Amino acid sequence: MFEKNMRYLRKQFGLSQQDLADNFDYRSFTTIQKWEDGTSVPSYDILQRLALLYKVSIDDLMHKDLTKQKIKVPILGIVRGGEPISAEENIIDYEEVENNEYKNDEYFYLEVIGDSMRDARILPGDLLYIHRQNYLDNNDIGVVLIDNEATVKYVIFTKDKMILKPANPEYHSIEINAELINTKQVKILGKVIHNKINY
């Protein structure tokens, strides 16, 4: 279990084997490699330092499968599935996810209000799991900020426009020209990864 946790935690913290070796003043990463392939276990003093570095207990490091532990991801306010709504970044609650779905502050949840994405099965009360990023591929479902108001839509790029397309024929697309994008009144907040349905 220890070797599995060592590989997992090192990657979660964005460290290479050499980075970890440098942190412990080893000349090369060979010692780290041995920890991770199970051929060597560090001394108790080193285990204490590893536990402190990774913010876990020694017992958990040695005996628990930390890759299966759940952690809490913040729900940062609401997003309109319809007309844009004022953006909120206050933490209103948390949802638990598996550790391997979450790294640092790259992911967050938003609660949906409105039904403009109904046909994509995004309904009021659902929780959207968002990867925080400032770019999208064509036809991604994304969260876009327009003059400090957030909305979730399919995002389509043409030569000179960004089109925010609903998944409900009762709503119209929002067309944003290049001038508006260039004046930074429009900002991509992230990509929708999945939708947590609440009944």
Q: Sign of dihedral through CA atoms 142, 143, 146, 151?
A: positive
Q: Are residues 41 and 90 in the same domain?
A: no
* pLDDT at residue 3, as a whole number: 85
CA dihedral 5, 96, 12, 59 (to 10 degrees): -30
Give the domain CATH number at 103: 2.10.109.10
Does the pLDDT at position 73 exceed 80?
A: no
- Residue where a domain terminates, one of 68, 85, 120: 68
Q: Are residues 55 and 83 in the same domain?
A: no
CA distance 93 to 109: 9
Domain range for 37: 2-68
Query: Is the CB of residue 154 less than 8 Å from the CB of residue 164?
Result: yes
19-28, 43-52, 82-91, 159-168, range with greatest mean pLDDT: 159-168
- Residue where a domain terminates, one of 68, 102, 123: 68
Q: Are residues 25 and 52 in the same domain?
A: yes
Q: Are residues 79 and 48 in the same domain?
A: no
Query: Could you tell me the pLDDT band of residue 84, with boundaries at 50, 70 and 90?
Result: very low
Q: Are residues 41 and 74 in the same domain?
A: no
Active site residues: 116, 153
> Which tokens belong to 91?
């933490």
Q: Are residues 77 and 36 in the same domain?
A: no
Q: What's the number of domains the chain is made of?
A: 2
pLDDT in tens, 45-58: 888 888 888 778 88
Backbone angles phi, psi at 38, to 5 degrees: 85, 10
Q: Are residues 36 and 46 in the same domain?
A: yes
* pLDDT at residue 37, as a whole number: 84
Which of residues 95 and 55 earns the better pLDDT score?
A: 55
CA distance 127 to 131: 13
pLDDT in tens, 25-51: 888 888 888 888 888 888 888 888 888
- Residue 153: how many CA atoms within 13 Å on its side-chain side? 27
Q: Are residues 19 and 8 in the same domain?
A: yes
